[in-house]
Structure 1
Amino acid sequence: MTGERNAGEERLARQLDFIREIDRLKSVHRQTLLLDRSRRENAAEHSWHLAVMALVMQEHAGESGLDIGRVIRMLLVHDIVEIDAGDTFAYDDEGYRDKAEREQRAAERLFSLLPDDQRAEMEALWREFEERRTPEAKFAAALDRLQPMIHNYLTEGHTWQKHGVTARKVRERNAVIADGSPALWRFAGRLIDSAVRKGYLEP
């Protein structure tokens, strides 16, 4: 009994270490402005927003019968690596050169804080999201790309203009939305066209 109790206490201690560590995600700031324009969004807020989007917008997924719970778990986990790796701006070509390497190292350190079974589960969710092969991962990625587009549009192209992003680049970068949701990609196309007409985006 003593051994079981000690093992349970050790497991709880590792879980609490992980919970404490992921609080740091609240200090990882993205380029995206909040819609009230008061400050930049942090990565923890981004993950929460995506999880709620998945819950609300699941009917628009490209394939029926998705495990929406798995989509939500993926979205809550996918940016944890940014605690160590930092946020890489979507249109930063230089930053993307070593992004995969930085995030792999981060995943190994951060998920290893957990008990082995939970480490394996978290790593699998993160890797599934990155590889974008399953219907769930494709839908999760579609939401991840769409959310900042909506923010940019509703803040009159703030981040797009700040970094000289063109409509062509936005289309190229976000075309993967179509893999997870043709309906949301059609919506994104209309949003981009409207942004160009309003002067938020250069063609």
Structure 2
Amino acid sequence: MSEKILNILKFLNEIEKLKSVTRHSWTSSGRQESVPEHSWRMAVFAMVLEKEFPEINMQRVMELSIVHDFGEIYDGDIPAFKPDPNKLEREEKAIKKLVQSLPAETQKKIIDLWKEYNECKTPESKLVKALDKLETLIQHNSVDIPTWAKIEKEFNLTYGKEFMNFHSFIKEFRKIVDKQTSEKIKNE
């Protein structure tokens, strides 16, 4: 039993490193957002939308939200406007390294969640993919434009739109976020 606990502690100590991985986005307090802060707000976002999606397994959505960026632990976050063709390969390798101290069943669960998110075929992964993009845009809209890269004024109005069409509520939510983005840019 104690070896199992030590291995879980090893994983928890390793995943703690993700707290120091920053994203391109900034917080309203003027510092760079961390990867776990983004994932946390995605989970909160999902929680408050639960009644809009009675057909979706929200526990699965929470798990996907938590795991979706685990692969950024060693190489960091890559801004969406700087696509990297090797991103998924590197992230999968990172996740396998990250979970290696966990029991095989738990390793498989985490890796499968990460793959499910990236394949974006299940209703839960489609919702999480949309929330991932929306949360990023909402975060950008929460801070001053000087924290944005120049490309983002145009990029943010198209970013992730292909993931919004699976549900009418998400499409409407995106329209409102886009309106806020446009107003923010206009009033700069």
If the length of structure 1 is used for normalisation, what is the TM-score? 0.83
* Residue 142 (structure 1) aligns with: 130
1:138–1:179 Cα contact (<8 Å) kept: no
Residues 48 and 191 of structure 1, relative CA distance in 2, 3 Å threshold: closer
Instruction: Say whether the 8 Å CA contact 1:132–1:141 is kept in structure 2.
Output: yes
Give the secondary structure class of the aligned counterpart of 1:85. Answer: coil
- Structure 1 residues 172 and 186: CA distance shift in structure 2, 3 A: same
Give, in whole Å, the separation in 2 of the partners of 1:173 and 1:195: 12
Aligned to 1:113: 101
1:155-195 CA distance string (max 9 Å, x none)? 243444x242243x334431133145432232222332343
Alignment match, 1:16: 9
2:38 maps to 1:46:
yes
2:138 equivalent to 1:191 = no
Structure 2 residues without counterparts, runs of 5 or longer:
none
Q: Tell me the percent identity.
A: 30
Task: List 4+ stretches of structure 1 deviating above 6 A.
Answer: none
Q: 1:198 to 1:171 in 2, by over 3 A?
A: closer
Task: Give the SS at the match of 1:92.
Answer: coil
Structure 2: distance between partners of 1:26 and 1:49: 14
RMSD (CA atoms): 2.1
Q: CA deviation at 1:87?
A: 0.5
Among residues 150, 153, 161, which one is paired with 1:175 in the alignment?
161
Q: Is the Cα–Cα contact under 8 Å of residues 27 and 142 in structure 2 kept in the other structure?
A: no
Matched length: 188
8 Å CA contact 2:153–2:185 kept in 1: the answer is no
Residue number in structure 1 paired with 2:62: 72
